[in-house]
Amino acid sequence: MRVNVKASNKKVNVKTGFVGVSGGSGYIYTDDAIWFDSVSGEAGTTEPIGTAQHPSNNLADVRTMLAARKLTKIQLPISSSGLNTATLDADMPFKAWIGQGK
């Protein structure tokens, strides 16, 4: 489900995102993406892993979550160590990679 926010008479800064619902809880997938951090991410595919607050640490899990959550973007944030790298270990056609830098 997509969530859109509109405000009248006030300026609102909201990032749009995909809301995944699991077990009655909602998780926000900022920029409609699975988040990947090779250094400080977590293994697994259970929500909230894959969100900005709990990025994944391996591409096998990222591919599984992309398919299950019907998303096509991978967000690569700046890691706490500054080195967030991804070595493709399988074909990942039609995926958008979004990197962040200084």
Span 7-24, pLDDT tens digits = 444 443 444 454 544 433
Do you know the residue count of the chain? 102
Q: Please give the model's pTM, rounded to 2 decimal places.
A: 0.68
Q: Please report the DSSP string for 18-83 in residue order.
A: EEEEETTEEEEEETTEEEB-TTT-B---STTTTBTTB-BS-HHHHHHHHHHTT--EEEEPPPTTS-
Span 52-73, pLDDT tens digits = 889 999 999 999 999 999 898 9
Rounded to a whole number of angstroms, the distance between the first and last alpha carbons of the chain is 32
Domain range list for the chain = 17-99
